[in-house]
Structure 1
Amino acid sequence: MIRLSTAAMVARTLSRESELRGLSQLVGRGDVCLDIGAAYGMYTFPLARLVRRTGQVHSFEPLRLPYQILESARQAAGARHVITTNAALGPSNGRQRLRLPYRFGLPNHGWAHLQVGVKRPGDSGGKTLEVPVYTIDHVCETRRIPWVDFMKVDVEGFESAVLEGGRRTIERHRPNLLLEIEDRHLDKYGMSAADVTEPLLRMGYRMYIWRRGHWQRTDAIDHRRRNYLFSSRLP
């Protein structure tokens, strides 16, 4: 059995996201997961531990340094069922500019975002990189992924565009979706939380938050929270 406990423990230690504790209620042995905006593997390795060898975790990270750390950790863990890709996901295939902000003279990888569709660019500092972009549907078709059970999408306000590129996959498989929804990031693209939530609710998804050890239904976005689960599988 592949031992991912150490990698998972490190990922949890680096994270303050309580939703990690709720993954076991959503993901199990043999499941297929997409980690979009994987960074250093905060979600990748806990997901890999849950799906075991019979499952798959496809992780996407467009920035070179976080990707290299992610891939090195994958190799060290011997996690052959984790497939890492140095690319972003979006509404169409191609290459796009990605803004990497700097803070105190250092790159702020957590705030990097694609430039396509930006309405309010804000701080013009930092670097602009060109990265490959694929759609969820394209990835699933070319890799012949038979089904998708879970997606985590944390892309600094670009969540709706990512979901747009996976419409066929989402409609077909109805995966659980864990999305970051924050006005400060959505505002860059001239969007609001409702622009993300309402299309999913119309599709029959229900919205949940992780609270007191359970996924609890909610009808409202709370500015004190970052992550929201959308599911048509939970009660």
Structure 2
Amino acid sequence: MSTTAERDPGKTQAWGAHAPTGLAGWVIRICHALPGTSRIWYRLTRLLRGPIKRAPVRPFDVNALGMELRLLNRGNFCEMTALYAPQFYDVPELDWLAAQLADGGTFVDIGGNIGLYSLAMAHRLGSRISIHTVEPDAELSARMRFNAEHNGLSINLAPVALSDHEGIATLKIDARQRGQNSLQDGTANGQADTREVPVNTLLALCQSRDITRIRAMKIDVEGHEPRILGHFFDNAPETLWPEALLIEHVHDDNRLMQRLIDALGYVEQGRTSRNLLLSRASTTGG
């Protein structure tokens, strides 16, 4: 069962009402002060955060990623990293995306979670870019909206799931790790920890929002990437294919990465432990 903090993590209170104090404040200050130069320091933040992570779910208002963010202490891996160790949060990926979007354009964030990628790009690049963030989990979307509004950032939220068809599907909620929510075909039929959500294709979403060119896209949808992108590349005009693509590569059972590189003209510009950084061959120098 969701706690009060999960249902409404202080969204009705102004930022600052949940400033960390006592032990939590000390731990977060120490973690934030550690250098981001070595994974040794990151492992230390994981040790230090233990008592706060094991406490009941609650929000903390902190300065992270250059913004004033409200973040929960547990239940969402990316959120915990931003809360306790923002200096280690996907630094290569965010820097690479910002470079791809430096001249402006449209950024599509599929699997937005609480919107950390979208928020970071909006904070860094402002009105130079248009951001469309896809997130079907209403709880995650609500926290994304709070942080965007508090920081005066513009994000166009699409509260739908993406797949290779249009209709209704079931979103299975992972309460222990919200970033691992997964999409299942069909209706919920009373299953516990599930929500029925609208489903669209990426092509239809772009058409409904008059998106005709995608400068950069990030996609992280727990293994559903082949269905989303397979349909998209089979049906979308090449002019709509993203010029830069950040994609999680740890669920590639369908050999999507091979298709992207061998058949669709993408070139690997870098990789991290979880993500590939790809650009179209014709735009590699852009």
What residue is the counterpart of 1:164 in the other structure? 230
- Structure 1 residues 57 and 74, CA gap change in structure 2 (3 angstroms): same
- Asked if structure 1 preserves the Cα contact closer than 8 Å seen for 2:248 and 2:274, the reply is yes
Kindly provide the amino acid, as one letter, of the partner of residue 112 in structure 1. Answer: N
Cα deviation per residue 1:175-203 (whole Å; 9 max; x = unaligned)?
211001114xx5xxxx34xx211221111
CA deviation after TM superposition for structure 1 residue 135, in Å:
1.3
Change (3 A) 1:116 1:31: same
Aligned to 2:158: 85
Q: Please point out which of 246, 266, 277 is paired with 1:178.
A: 246
Q: Please give the alpha-carbon distance, in whole angstroms, between the structure 2 residues aligned to 1:20 and 1:92.
A: 30
> Structure 1 counterpart of 2:274, which letter?
R
User: Secondary structure at the residue paired with 1:38?
Assistant: coil
Identity over aligned pairs, percent: 27
CA distance in 1, matches of 2:128, 2:245: 21
Matched with 1:196 is 256
CA displacement, residues 73-121 of structure 1 (integer Å, 9 cap, x when unaligned): 22222223x1012211111221111111344xxxx2111011139xxxx
Greater relative contact order (Cα < 8 A, sep 6+): 1
TM-score calculated relative to the size of structure 2: 0.62
CA distance in 2, matches of 1:165, 1:52: 31
CA distance in 1, matches of 2:221, 2:241: 20
Q: Which residue in the other structure is 1:220 paired with?
A: none
Residue segments in structure 1 that go unaligned for 5+ positions in a row: 118-124, 212-224
Q: Which has the larger radius of gyration?
A: 2
How far is 1:60 from its partner?
A: 1.0
Q: Which residue of 1 aligns with 2:185?
A: 116
> What TM-score do the two structures reach when normalised by structure 1?
0.74
Q: CA deviation at 1:204?
A: 0.9
Q: Please say if 1:147 is aligned against 2:207.
A: no
Question: Which residue pairs with 1:127 in the alignment?
Answer: 193
Are the structure 2 counterparts of residues 209 and 7 from structure 1 closer, same or farther at C-alpha, using a change threshold of 3 Å?
Answer: farther
Separation (CA, whole Å) in 2 of partners of 1:130 and 1:13:
29
Query: Does 1:36 pair with 2:86?
Result: no
Count of aligned pairs between the two proteins: 199
Aligned partner of 2:266 in structure 1 is: 205
Aligned-CA RMSD value: 2.7
Give the SS at the match of 2:198. strand
